[in-house]
Each structure stands twice: as C-alpha cells, then as structure tokens.
Amino acid sequence: MNDRPRSVLTNTGYRLFADVASKVASLAFFVVMARELGDSRFGVFTFALTFVILATTLANFGQDVVLTREVARDRTRLNAYFANTVAIKVVLSTISLAVAIGVAVGAGIDRETLAALLLLGAAVTLELLMATCFASYQAFERLEFIPVALISQRFVTAAVGIAALVQGAGVVAVSAIYLAGAGLGFALALWFLVWKIARPRLEVEPRRWWPLMRASLAIGLAGVFAIVLFRVDTAMLAAFEPKDVVGDYGAAYRLLEATLFVAWSVGAAVYPVFSRLTTTSVPPVGLVFQRGLKLAVALTLPLAAGGLVLAGPLIRVLYGSSYGSAETALRLLTPAIALYPICYVTGYLLVSQDRQRVLTWVYGLVALENILANLLLIPWLSLNGAALGTSISQLLVAVAFVAFAQRIAGGIDWSRIAAGPVVGTLLAAGTMAALRDELALAVPAGTAVYVVALVLFERLLFPEDARAVLNLLPRRA
C-alpha cells in the first residue's frame, strides 16, 4: 500500500502542472481578448461560449465519471466504455446544439454571435471528447500525458489567438482559432491513449448506449444541474444588462475559473483510489478522503484570500481601468473559490461509493435556488448580484455534500483539515494587504508567508500529517 499514496501525489502533480500551465495560457488569451475586443465584443464571445457549454450539458452526462470508476475497478471494461461514450457525446452534442442554436436564430441574434456559436459549439464538442480520453488516463492512473495534450492545446490557441488579436482579429476569427486548438488537443489526447496507455476497441455498439446512459443518469443530471449552476448567471445577466456589463462579469469570472484547476487536480488523482476503497478497507476511504480534502483546501484557500485582498490591483493590471466594475464582483466570488474544492472532492467521494443520487438532488435544488436568486439579485445588484448568487450557491452545495460525506468518512476532523491553511491564509492576507499597492511584491511575499506558516503549523500540531506528506515525496534510489 505504500505506493498508492505516492501515486496519488504524483498524479495530483501531473494534473496540477497541466492545469496551472494551461490556465496561464488561457488567462493570457482572455486578458488580451478583453483588452483588444473591448468589453462589448468580449461580452459576445463570453455569451457565446457560455451558451454552447449550457447547450451541450446533455452530451456531458456523467459518462466520463462512470467510465473512470468502472475501468478503475476492472481495466478490461475500457473496450465497452470508450468508443460508445465518444459516440454518445457526438450524437447528443450535435442534436442539442442544433436545437439551441435554432432557437437563438429564431430569437433574432446577429450574424457575428451566430458564427461564434457555431464555431465554439464544435470546439466545445471536441473538448468533451478530449475529456473522455483524460477519463481513461485517470482510470489507469496515467495522468502524465494530460499535461502534454492540454498544454499543447492551450498554448497553441493562446499564441495564435493573441497574435491574431494584435493584428485586429474579431470575435469570429478568435472563435475559429479556439476551434482549431480544440481539434489539436483531441488529436493529441487520442494518440496518447491509443499508443501509450491502452488501445480500446473502436467499435460503436448502439445497443450499449441506453445501459451506459442509464448507469450515468444520476451523475449526468447532477452534471447538468452543476453546469446550470455555474453558467446560468452569465446567461441571465445578458438578459438584463448590456454586453459591456456581461464583459465585466466575464473578466471577474475568468479569475474564479482560473483557480478551479486545484480541485480538478486533486479530484483526478483521488477519484480512482476512492473507487477501489471502502469504509472497511485498509486504508479506509474516509482517511484518504480527509487527506485529499486537506490538500485541496491548503492549495485553494490562499487563492481566495488573494482575490479578496488584491481584487482591485489584479483587475487593473490584467484587464485595464475600463473593467473597474469587475473588482467588487471578484471579491464577491472569492468565497466560491474556497468552497468549490470542498464540493468537488466531496462529490467524488459520494460517486465513488455509489451515492451519486445525492449529487443529483443537491445540485438540482441549488440550481433552482440559483436561478430564483438571480431573478432577484441581478435586477437589484447587476453583475455583483450574479457574483453573490454564485457564492451563496456554492456554500449550500458544500454544506449538503459534507453532511452526507460524514456518514461515509465516519466523521470529519475539520481542525486537522483546515486549521493550518486558515492560520497561514490569515497571515498571508495581512501581508498582501500591506503590500497591495505593489502587486508584483504582494503575491510572492504572501505566498512565502503562507508556505512558511503552514509548514511550521503542521509540523508543530500535526506532525504525523507532515510525515505522511514527506513520505509521499519521490525518494532517491
């Protein structure tokens, strides 16, 4: 069992590296886009991307989560799951996009927005297929290939996109570049799967589709509700406010999205391990869950503090003074930065132990709450209301998930999980606040204070956890 935790940490590192590097590229791309297009046309791109993601939610119906869980338990099942999962996604995304874009045309959208919807719809579909390849990597615990495929896609898209924007490219051209990057990413992801990990039979069997969809029904519904929860605020804001306000909110929301990779990285590493363990296994799933949750909280909490304290300087440096309205929205989104990893890792625990119906009910009810809250908050507070609604909804999801997870984990020791990160974050926040006028100094200084405080706290109060982390580090032969 000694190799198992080391595998978790190594795979977390691979996924973390992939997501950090890709987020840097994506953030640079969106920052330049926001600057070059202006808030109104950037609002067109933001709306189009949000629209097609919402439209393709049925295509991302939990099949990848089921694939990872079942193949982690029995790797021969890849043959039955991979090709059919890809086929289901293609069929469902094509149908749902055709219907959604048809409705948009009937509503009278302009040609530029329509072209962006068509191009980004194809791109999002390719990214869904890329995710199925990554789910297969995850089942085999071979996440080292994710950085190559994901970083290649994002850096090529960013490099070509930024060059085009500087030369005066518009929304349609940028959308086409985004589509080309998605095609490159899927091609690389499929190549690594087939030639480096496993070669699944590429046989599509429609008779398997309904059983696969039925197995993923609860997870799929939860995924649909989760995407609605995360994306409907932008769509509703566009119904109430002009494009420049949507662009301002998109600027703040991109910084929230830039932090989600931490939860994804930890979740990608621990989910196949959760799937193999039980409440009575050695080690019990509850122990691995608490350490995974502690890792996610420790990596994310200081990011939330940084967004809260440095919102103004971050927005000005990244987007310019014309996006000043995004500052308050970013501050209101920072609770979601801290809460999301708790929801994400806890959700994986519930699915791994076949409690996926909890996700369906919780996400469904909170998605409804979010829509109703936005109907009140957006007319009242505009983009700040959308941001506040997002954080409130994440709090509700976290409370509900944790309540159910405690039954599986046999209780959760929150002092062990959160005390060190909280102390370190408070000290780091104070440091960043004192240096907020010097952003280039505030970020590294806050990071250094956090790391030192966290390490000292953990070694003094929870030395056994510190030793466990040290044991996970690679050893020399």
Nearest-angstrom CA–CA distance, 126 and 123? 5
Q: Profile the chain (477 residues) by mean pLDDT over runs of 10 residues.
A: 49 75 87 88 89 85 87 87 93 94 90 94 96 92 87 94 94 95 96 91 86 83 84 89 89 89 82 85 87 90 96 92 91 97 95 91 95 96 96 97 92 91 96 94 96 91 68 42
Name the domain boundary from 175, 198, 215: 215
For residues 183 and 193, membership in a common domain is answered with yes
The token pair that represents 267 in the structure block:
């979740």
Name the domain boundary from 172, 188, 215: 215
> What burial class does residue 437 get, using C-beta atoms within 10 Å of its C-beta: 0-12 exposed, 13-18 middle, 19+ buried?
exposed
Nearest-angstrom CA–CA distance, 86 and 126? 10
Helices within 324-462 (DSSP H only): 326-352, 356-381, 383-409, 414-434, 439-461
The pLDDT, as a whole number, for residue 17 is 80
For residues 293 and 163, membership in a common domain is answered with no
For residues 318 and 198, membership in a common domain is answered with no
The pLDDT, as a whole number, for residue 7 is 55
For residues 29 and 132, membership in a common domain is answered with yes
Q: Whole-prediction pTM value? A: 0.75
Q: How many domains does the chain have?
A: 2
The pLDDT, as a whole number, for residue 8 is 62
| Angle in degrees, CA 85, 88, 91, rounded to 5 | 150
Nearest to 209 by CA among 356, 354, 79, 63: 63
The pLDDT, as a whole number, for residue 212 is 83
The pLDDT, as a whole number, for residue 1 is 34
- Give yes or no for a contact between 393 and 334, defined as CB atoms under 8 angstroms apart: no
For residues 435 and 416, membership in a common domain is answered with yes
Task: State how far the alpha carbon of 133 is from the alpha carbons of 104, 122, 189, 293, in Å.
Answer: 31, 17, 6, 25
Task: State how far the alpha carbon of 288 is from the alpha carbons of 14, 177, 218, 455, 472, in Å.
Answer: 19, 41, 24, 20, 13
User: What is the domain range of residue 299?
Assistant: 217-477
The pLDDT, as a whole number, for residue 476 is 42
For residues 193 and 265, membership in a common domain is answered with no
- Give yes or no for a contact between 219 and 69, defined as CB atoms under 8 angstroms apart: no
For residues 251 and 381, membership in a common domain is answered with yes
For residues 228 and 156, membership in a common domain is answered with no
Cis ω on the peptide bond leading into residue 421 (within 30° of 0)?
A: no
For residues 191 and 237, membership in a common domain is answered with no
Cβ partners under 8 Å of residue 180, min gap 6? 157, 160
Fill in the amino acid letter for 436.
R
The pLDDT, as a whole number, for residue 95 is 95
Q: Which residue has the tokens 């615990």?
A: 141
For residues 195 and 321, membership in a common domain is answered with no
For residues 178 and 49, membership in a common domain is answered with yes
Name the domain boundary from 215, 249, 280: 215
Nearest-angstrom CA–CA distance, 415 and 67? 35
Task: State how far the alpha carbon of 86 is from the alpha carbons of 97, 203, 209, 301, in Å.
Answer: 16, 11, 11, 36
Nearest to 408 by CA among 344, 468, 352: 352
For residues 320 and 195, membership in a common domain is answered with no
